[in-house]
Amino acid sequence: MKKSVQQYLQRYAASETQLLQDWPASFQRAMLIPAKDEPSSLIENCQRFCTAQGNTLLVLVVNQGDSQDDRSQNKALWDKAKKSGKECWQKNHLHLLQWPNHSALLLIDRFSQGLAIPHKEGVGLARKIAADIIAHLIAAGKINSPWIYSSDADCAWPCNYFDSSELEGAGHGQSNVVAAHFAFEHSPCDDKSLDKQTRQAITEGTKLYEKGLHYYQQGLAWAGSPYAFYTIGSCLAFHYQAYCEVRGFPPRAAGEDFYLLNKLAKQGNVAFLGQQIIHIDSRLSQRAPFGTGPAVSEIIEKKLLICNYASYHPMCFYTLKDLLQDPLKILSTDLDPKIKSALENQGLQKFLRHLKQQNVKADKLISEFHNWFDAFHSLKFIHYLRDHHYPSIPLQEGLAQLERWQASVNEK
């Protein structure tokens, strides 16, 4: 076991990992799902999938914030899960249940009185608990695959979900891939408790939000950013060693997926698994303070369409491209004023002092820049340009301009 893995598991991993000393079973692979106020049908969906895959451990963290009083929906999900198989191991609030075809469910209670998650740590802590447990079991030789699969309760997974040549090669040291993001698309809303018009509004609003996600990723890719990847917690896989080296998921109420991938991308490559498409339910959700749920709610409330749904002006990506084509221009005195003001706002002078103090050699300057100007700084850079120079425009217009730029590059 690498020293960094051992140190993480001993010093920084969730306390639940300390309960695994007499863990009784081995599996080929493991995936995690945080579940908060989810319908009981989740258990049937997960059991069906894991049974079909075989030899799969699902780590399900039933959770809610400590400021939430109503536990009824989580209790119903818990009771359904407890009845889904024979309990073969239990330690405190961890329960292992046998499922068919050598699969199993590790059920973790983080919703009951005294076990609820601090509201500021939210889904980030739920994911961290599950991922830390899987990392511990991989390190102990109880799970064969070195990859941790992170998903969500609103997903449907393809039959080839675990079959990826990119990950298999990386798992044997044949590439520098440390994480991967699955292809995804949102399925139509099928909540039968809602009328047809509401379901259609949710479906269309979610598809519009999805177009915005694609637009941002494509804009970063066109600009040449090394951080041009999606960051959706339900569509991730990452190598357990790299996960431990960056000290795991940050315990936060939202954005934990973004921050984890931002750290992992500095350890190696983030692959895109375009052949495996995860289908995500279109639904309204307020489980996190920002993200798909709140964004779709706003789209529906304001009756936004692609012609008036505001998104980044493409000049934000154009300016980013100008910077990334020659990052060393930050050392020059004739740096574009727009770029300079955006970088100054993010601590450019502090970074330049770091380069000087560390006596960074010329051949290391670009890698040092990209280590500093990461996914978080790229987002802040674009937000600064939006707020001070290039106000948002309708998504339809931004997509059209970006497509024209992409076409002109392809023609050359």
Buried b (16+ CB within 10 A) or exposed e, 65-87: bbeeeebebbeebbeebeebbee
Sequence-distant (≥ 6) Cβ neighbours of residue 244 within 8 angstroms: 2, 4, 5, 8, 9, 135
320 within a domain of the structure (yes/no): yes
Q: Which two tokens stand for residue 349?
A: 């002078």
Sequence-distant (≥ 6) Cβ neighbours of residue 125 within 8 angstroms: 14, 63, 110, 117, 118, 249, 251, 252
pLDDT tens readout for residues 78-137: 999 999 999 999 999 999 999 999 999 999 999 999 999 999 999 999 999 999 999 999
Could you give phi then psi for residue 42, rounded to 5 degrees?
Answer: -55, -40
Q: Look at the block and give the residue holding tokens 């970063």.
A: 220
Q: Which two tokens stand for residue 160?
A: 């080839």
Domain holding 224, by residue range, is: 3-301
405 within a domain of the structure (yes/no): no
DSSP string covering 203-254, please? HHHHHHHHHHHHHHHHHHHHHT-TT-----GGGEEEEHHHHHHTTS----SS
Strands of 329-392, DSSP E: none
Structural domain count of the chain: 2
CATH code for the domain in which residue 55 is found: 3.90.550.10
Residues 187 and 102 in one domain: yes
Secondary structure of residue 57 in the 3-state scheme? strand
Nearest partner of 59 among 139, 149, 140, judged by Cα? 149
pLDDT band at 149 (very low <50, low <70, confident <90, very high): very high
pLDDT tens readout for residues 181-225: 999 999 999 999 999 999 999 999 999 999 999 999 999 999 999
Residues 23 and 60 in one domain: yes
Triad 221, 223, 224: Cα angle to 5° = 65
Question: pTM, whole model, 2 decimals?
Answer: 0.95
123 within a domain of the structure (yes/no): yes
* Residue 287 near residue 156, CB atoms below 8 Å: no
404 within a domain of the structure (yes/no): no
* Residue 279 near residue 187, CB atoms below 8 Å: yes
pLDDT tens readout for residues 27-46: 999 999 999 999 999 999 99
Residues 142 and 204 in one domain: yes
